[in-house]
Amino acid sequence: MRDFGASSRWESSQHQEADGAVESKQRIALGAPVVDFSLAGAHLLGRAYWSEVEHATWRLVRTRQRSDSLELRLLGSGPVLLRFGPPTAEATEDFVRCSYPIEGGLLARRPAGEIVFAQTGGSRPTVSSTIRGFFPRLASRSNEPSWTGALYNGVQSRIHVAVSRRYFKRLVAEARP
């Protein structure tokens, strides 16, 4: 295990587009890559995030694989909170990416957007978790007062940021020597 503590830098940003779509990006700069630059490394980024969702929610939210989709369900068999399509993985010698299209669920106003996990190389490798083009049911809608999105901003968005922090910490702890 490597000590990335002193050399890592955490960043987080979020905004909502005029049409109501949300973009949320968490990023950490590291001293070394945490996964291989391969398709296997890209898929590992995705699997590690979903595992961290379960750990961070004390398994109240669980992943469930169904055909080509991945579902986040309350207690594993309860309602589908979010449904994602099959992952798309990309890899080059200094970039890996695993993305899941958002296909619906109780927390989505409509099927749109994606969640993307990526690692870039270079002299200052980074790992990121990005949600873009997502229309959360709990977010404020266009032409509505901003306070109407209080549940999204106060709960759902904060959960994603907290899971991302834990996800990055886990990736660093499990990094190859």
Range of the domain at 161: 5-173
Picking from 82, 112, 88, the residue whose alpha carbon sits closest to that of residue 100 is 88
Q: How does residue 76 score in pLDDT terms, banded at 50, 70 and 90?
A: confident
Average pLDDT of the segment spanning 84-108: 97
Instruction: State pLDDT tens for residues 101-135.
Output: 999 999 999 999 999 999 999 888 999 999 999 99
**Distance from the first to the final alpha carbon of the chain:** 6
pLDDT > 60? residue 176: no
Query: How many domains would you assign to the chain?
Result: 1
pTM of the model: 0.88
Q: What pLDDT shows up at residue 1?
A: 31
CATH code (residue 65): 3.30.530
pLDDT > 90? residue 39: yes
